[in-house]
Amino acid sequence: MTQLALVIDLNVCVGCHSCVTSCKQWNTSSYTSGSMTDLNPYDEDPNGTFFNRVQTFEVGEFPNTDTIHFPKSCLHCEDAPCVPVCPTGASHKREKDGIVLVDYDKCIGCGYCSWACPYGARELDPREKVMKKCTLCVDRIDDETLPEEQRKPSCVIHCPTNARLFGDVHDPDSEVSVAIRERGGYQLMPEQGTMPANHYLPRYKNKITIHEDELQREDNPLKKEGHLPDPGSRASSIEDYSSF
């Protein structure tokens, strides 16, 4: 079994929205997704379809805060709740590689699958009236005319900080599996039991622990110049003050 997925490294995501725009550009021009509608793009109350968003969260209280840029797209759940609810079978999970897809010719636009997704990963296209979602750029992955290194989702190729990894999470030695294993990759809303295939790598900060006494060298030669403690006349042996 293959399960293609993204692993998103929150540690290096800088929130530049490059994945958002490259996704929109590729998918609105592709033959598999149709156009991704923008209503009133330059007017009041714009409204549009995106497969991917970068959100920003602030963790902690000022002044001890962390800004987390959080890219969010379809997680291609292994137990995808949006698939069994579809009345027409338009929403399906591809056998070959576990990508959750919508057949736009079968979709009746009832919106039921979007209700059944706890992550809000599906958007009803306001003009084409069918449900749309991240396809992991199947048209790139399947396109054998592309050079091997370009058969990846558009967002992965365009990420300037390499915050998005792509691969088979069922292969224990793949780049994504190693990253999840060794860097604490986690899933979103694990309590909902959807088993998302996409994982997120947490923030980490390099830290070194220094204890107070480590700041003072025991054998600091400068001390020899200082005032030495007086052992007093009652000191019994030289060991009591030899360390000074």
Nearer to other proteins, 75 or 137 (CB): 75
CB of 199 to other proteins, least distance (A): 9
CB of 178 to other proteins, least distance (A): 19
CB of 27 to other proteins, least distance (A): 15
Rounded CA-CA distance 142/139 in Å is 5
Rounded CA-CA distance 244/239 in Å is 10
CB of 142 to other proteins, least distance (A): 25
Nearer to other proteins, 107 or 156 (CB): 107
Nearer to other proteins, 26 or 141 (CB): 26
Q: How many CB atoms lie within 10 A of CB 86?
A: 20
Query: DSSP letter string over 94-120?
Result: -TTT--EEE-TTT-----HHHHT-TT-
Rounded CA-CA distance 72/187 in Å is 12
Task: Tell whether the torsion through CA atoms of 102, 107, 109 and 114 is positive or negative.
Answer: negative
CB of 37 to other proteins, least distance (A): 10
Instruction: Provide the Cα torsion 108, 112, 113, 118; round to 10°.
Output: 160
Interface residues with other proteins (CB under 8 A) are: 17, 20, 40, 45-50, 53-61, 67-68, 70, 72, 81, 84-90, 106-112, 114-120, 122-124, 126, 128-130, 186-193, 200, 202-203
Nearer to other proteins, 17 or 151 (CB): 17
CB of 234 to other proteins, least distance (A): 56
Nearer to other proteins, 83 or 138 (CB): 83
Nearer to other proteins, 118 or 231 (CB): 118
Rounded CA-CA distance 75/64 in Å is 31
Instruction: Classify residue 183 by burial, with Cβ atoms within 10 Å: 0-12, 13-18, 19+.
Output: middle
CB of 85 to other proteins, least distance (A): 5
Q: How many CB atoms lie within 10 A of CB 123?
A: 17
Rounded CA-CA distance 47/167 in Å is 32
Nearer to other proteins, 12 or 110 (CB): 110
